[in-house]
Every structure is written in structure tokens, then in C-alpha cells.
A and B are shown apart, each in its own frame.
Chain A
């Protein structure tokens, strides 16, 4: 099983801030990593796949980087609609696993 450590679990920020979320793997997964955004009461939505490829329709203020064991999701200029919970997920091996989630809240 590949264990994932996502940090921080809670991030307080203001509109316009640059925020960074980290996801660390217990073993290397190349670039087989996705990031999802989830708003309360809604299904998750895909933001980024292959560690750094932006899903169609996702604003360019979102970016992903990393490979191997360390990955980062960056929101360059936080907008009001970005306050949500973010999850990383590896698809390198079964069982697929998600990070614990990072809630981005208004400061």
C-alpha cells in the first residue's frame, strides 16, 4: 500500500494569496498523481493529472509539480470560489489511495 501524507490539513488564507499544498508518498510513483477539489455537499472535481497537467476548463491559477515522492499543488492567486477541500490521489498501484485532504478556509 502506498501511504500519502498531505499537508497542511487546514490552511487559512485570504483572497489573492498564493497557497501551496504538499503531498508526500511512502514510495515513488513517478508522475501518477492527480489533484481534486471538493466543495461541501458536492462531488470531487479533477483539477490536475499526471502531476502537472491541468484538466480542461480548470483556471490557470492552479498548477501542480513534482515527481517521485514529493508533489505540490499551488494556487497562484486565491479566488473566493477556491475555498474548498483539496485531495491528492495516486494511481500508480492498487489500492488507489487519497491524501487526507487540505481544507482551504477564509482567514
Chain B
């Protein structure tokens, strides 16, 4: 069964750090772009970051650039999101998602066909 399981969420003070993990199973993890998407309480979906299969390309939404780092360990079938300098507005459920490859100009991350259940991050004093 294809599965993504996030972990690492919790309560953290403003300015603090947290590292989210996503464990993948049931598919060849190293063949896929991966994504993080978040959803603030009562709000819509917001794409956060993408990482290429080999980790050589990474993309972020402007609001997290310089604070969040996406990474992966293909040997462990795991995706990570290191979150530093956290703010109240980072409070959200964070979803890990598998992205299918599409060709726009070059191969890139396309639509997200498998999602984890999410992990909750709360930034509050």
C-alpha cells in the first residue's frame, strides 16, 4: 500500500524550531518529487516546498524562504522539513505529498497524487 506518514509536529514558541518527517512506503521514493503543503486552521491549502528526486532542486513559497529547508534521504525513504524562526502564522497542519512528474519546459513537480494524514504545528507562547 502506498503510504505517507508525517511526524514531528507539536507546540513551539515563536522563534523556535521544529523538524517534520515524512516516512514513505509502498512506492519507489527516489523516483518522485516530493512536496510539503500546509493548511492553517479554518483556511485553505498553501503549497510550502518541493524537492526533486535527487535533492538537487528545491523550491519554496516566499513566506518561508530562508527559514524552512526541505530535504530528503532516499536511503531511508524519508522527507523532512526543517522549520526555523517559527512565527504564529506558521501554525497549520502540514501535509507531505507525492508529486507526479510533468514536463512544462523541463521535467518538474506536477500534481500531488498521494497525501499523508498531516501533522499539526502550533506556534504560540
Q: Which positions in A face B, CB cutoff 8 Å?
A: 32, 34, 36, 38, 42-46, 49-50, 55, 87, 89, 91-101
Q: Which chain B residues border A45 with CB–CB below 8 Å? A: 115
User: Is the beta-carbon distance between B45 and A101 smaller than 8 angstroms?
Assistant: yes
User: Is the beta-carbon distance between B61 and A95 smaller than 8 angstroms?
Assistant: yes
- Assuming the contacts A32-B102, A94-B59, A95-B62, asked whether A44 and B95 have C-beta atoms less than 8 A apart, the reply is yes
Mask, B94-121, CB within 8 Å of A = 1, is 0100011010100011111101111000
Residue of B nearest to A49 (CB): B111
- Assuming the contacts A87-B44, A101-B45, asked whether A55 and B113 have C-beta atoms less than 8 A apart, the reply is yes
When chains A and B are docked, how far (Å) is the Cα of A89 from the Cα of B35? 13
If over half of B's interface residues share one DSSP class (helix, strand or loop), that class is named, otherwise mixed; here it is strand
Count of chain B residues with Cβ under 8 Å from any Cβ of A?
26
- Assuming the contacts A43-B117, A44-B95, A95-B62, asked whether A34 and B47 have C-beta atoms less than 8 A apart, the reply is no
Residue of A nearest to B95 (CB): A43
Interface Cβ pair total, 8 Å cutoff: 66
Shortest B39–chain A CB gap in Å is 8
Interface residue? B46 (CB, 8 A): yes
8 Å CB interface, B42-64 against A? 44-47, 50, 59-62
When chains A and B are docked, how far (Å) is the Cα of A89 from the Cα of B59? 16
Residue of B nearest to A44 (CB): B115
Q: Which chain A residues border B95 with CB–CB below 8 Å? A: 43-44
Q: Which chain A residues border B50 with CB–CB below 8 Å? A: 94, 96
Shortest A67–chain B CB gap in Å is 14
Q: Which chain B residues border A96 with CB–CB below 8 Å? A: 35, 47, 50, 109
User: Is the beta-carbon distance between B113 and A46 smaller than 8 angstroms?
Assistant: yes
